[in-house]
Amino acid sequence: MKQQRPLTITNGRLVTPDGLREGTLRLVNGMIDAIDASAQDGDETIDAHGALVAPGLVDLGVFAIDKPAFHFGGITRAALMPDQSPPLDLPSRVSYIAKSGKPDFWVHPLAAATRGLDGCEIAELGLMREAGARGVATGRRWIADSGVMLRLLQYAAMLDLVVVAHAEDAALVGSAVATAGEIATRRGLTSAPVQAEALALARDIALAEMARARIHFRQVTTRAGLAFVRAAKARGVQVTCGVTPAHFMLSDLATVDFRTFARLSPPLRSEEDREAVREAIADGTIDVIASGHDPRGPEDKRLPFSDAEPGMAGAETLLAMTLSLVRDDVIDLPRAFDLVARRPAEILGVPAGGLKPGLEADIAIIDPERPWVIQSAKMEASAGNTPFDGQPTQGRVTRLFKGGVAIKR
């Protein structure tokens, strides 16, 4: 799928790192050719009618690929976690995944850090990098052996691969399904202390500093954990972190009726931690907002809360939930698209995520005020298990382009 002729998008409000500006965007041969250039003879022209013209979203750390759901949400690329069946711990599997979404969606595989994701034997990262891996990930688990984790970070640093880590001390978490506190106690749910996240972060940050490696924590969800990340950044450690909308929109109060759509990993935190996440988004401590897309069918969710599998379908709601932070004056529009496009692209090392000549022409036209109601039964994902079911929201993608080619009209 190649762009057949140049495309010029006029009368748009361009979302650039420098701010929001009215202008024109010209796309040629699948790349952004120019900003504020006039349409030339032979160009296809689209009038944006004042809508936002923004980079396609880059979703860092999903567990499943649902192209209709990603297209609905304006996502043009996603980094796939290695927790597949079988896991992405061989070059052949990584190569297959790297080609699987084309031509209208790009999947960037994250190689399994250890064979079988068992946390013991480091996988063949060099070969998987050659096969198309854009990073290496520990999956849903924390690597408990500090020696293995240090060697992993050293190896990844040699290959200039980012390590995407899960930040929960496994020994403290055990089989917990909730965060320790009043809600878990009143509901009789097995719980783990928030310190499980802070301890994991403290160790892995120290090891990354020793190895001079790049480390990205897929989700940091507590005030104590965010303090460790903030301090590490201040002293120059190559650390970044992300969060999903559930952890800045919801607290553990959402679990009081045992609704398994709110069974997540890490579990929902206290209201104080939710506020800390919003503060960290505002001050730049958090680098990425990702969907954590992990749709679960009825066989995994229609169970007692403690038996249900964690996960949510997040691709379709990522943009709308992030735009809610703009409406709440937590961040501005350029910062919103830094979180969902520019920074994830930078971390993965892909030429996308911004409106800049020379980057790939992955473009979303967005009506930020368009109202809609999130309905799990009508979602495009393979399963509609969202904790936002029934919630009114705003912001919809009206057109989407992958490499200058329309994939949603």
pLDDT tens digits, residue range 125-142?
999 999 999 999 999 999
Helix-then-strand count for the chain, H and E: 14, 18
Report the number of distinct structural domains present in the chain: 1
Alpha helices, H only, 221-309: 223-234, 246-249, 271-283, 298-301
Q: Over 80: is that where the pLDDT of 234 sits?
A: yes
Q: Is residue 406 part of a domain?
A: no
Q: Looking at residue 371, what is its pLDDT?
A: 97
Contact 66, 293 (CB under 8 A): yes
Q: Looking at residue 152, what is its pLDDT?
A: 98
**Structural domain of 229:** 56-353+387-392
Task: Provide the mean pLDDT of the chain.
Answer: 96
User: For position 62, which CATH number holds?
Assistant: 3.20.20.140
Residue 78 gets the label, from left (phi > 0), alpha (psi -120 to 50) or beta, of beta
Q: Looking at residue 179, what is its pLDDT?
A: 93
Q: Over 80: is that where the pLDDT of 409 sits?
A: no
Q: Is residue 157 part of a domain?
A: yes
- Residue 17: which pLDDT band, with cuts at 50, 70 and 90? confident
Task: Name the more confident of 31 and 408.
Answer: 31
Q: Over 80: is that where the pLDDT of 375 sits?
A: yes
Least confident piece of the model among 36-45, 127-136, 346-355: 36-45
Q: Is residue 290 part of a domain?
A: yes
Which whole number is the average pLDDT over 256-260?
88
Q: Is residue 2 part of a domain?
A: no
Q: Looking at residue 2, what is its pLDDT?
A: 87
Residue 336 gets the label, from left (phi > 0), alpha (psi -120 to 50) or beta, of alpha
Q: Looking at residue 262, what is its pLDDT?
A: 92
Q: Is residue 280 part of a domain?
A: yes
**Other CB atoms closer than 10 Å to residue 250's CB: what's the count?**
18
- Residue 334: which pLDDT band, with cuts at 50, 70 and 90? very high
Q: Over 90: is that where the pLDDT of 340 sits?
A: yes
Q: Over 90: is that where the pLDDT of 253 sits?
A: yes
- Provide the percentage of residues in the chain whose pLDDT is more than 70: 100
* SS3 (DSSP) at 51: coil
CA 349/CA 245 separation, integer angstroms: 24
Q: Looking at residue 59, what is its pLDDT?
A: 98
**Within 13 Å of residue 155, how many CA atoms lie on the same side as its CB?**
21
CA 160/CA 162 separation, integer angstroms: 7
Q: Please write the tens of the pLDDT for every residue from 178-211.
A: 999 999 999 999 999 999 999 999 999 999 999 9
Q: Is residue 38 part of a domain?
A: no
Q: Looking at residue 36, what is its pLDDT?
A: 87
Q: Looking at residue 1, what is its pLDDT?
A: 73
Cα 117 from chain centre = 20
Which whole number is the average pLDDT over 319-345?
98
Q: What is the DSSP string of 91-112?
A: HHHHHHHHHHTTTT-EEEEEEE
CA 18/CA 270 separation, integer angstroms: 35
DSSP label at residue 228: H
3-state percent breakdown (helix, strand, coil) of the chain, nearest 5: 35, 25, 40
- Residue 311: which pLDDT band, with cuts at 50, 70 and 90? very high
Q: Looking at residue 382, what is its pLDDT?
A: 83
**Other CB atoms closer than 10 Å to residue 390's CB: what's the count?**
9
DSSP label at residue 213: -
Q: Over 90: is that where the pLDDT of 408 sits?
A: no
- Residue 37: which pLDDT band, with cuts at 50, 70 and 90? confident
Which whole number is the average pLDDT over 61-77?
97
Q: Looking at residue 35, what is its pLDDT?
A: 93
Q: Over 90: is that where the pLDDT of 241 sits?
A: yes
Q: Is residue 359 part of a domain?
A: no
Q: Is residue 364 part of a domain?
A: no
Q: Please write the tens of the pLDDT for every residue from 283-300.
A: 999 999 999 999 998 899
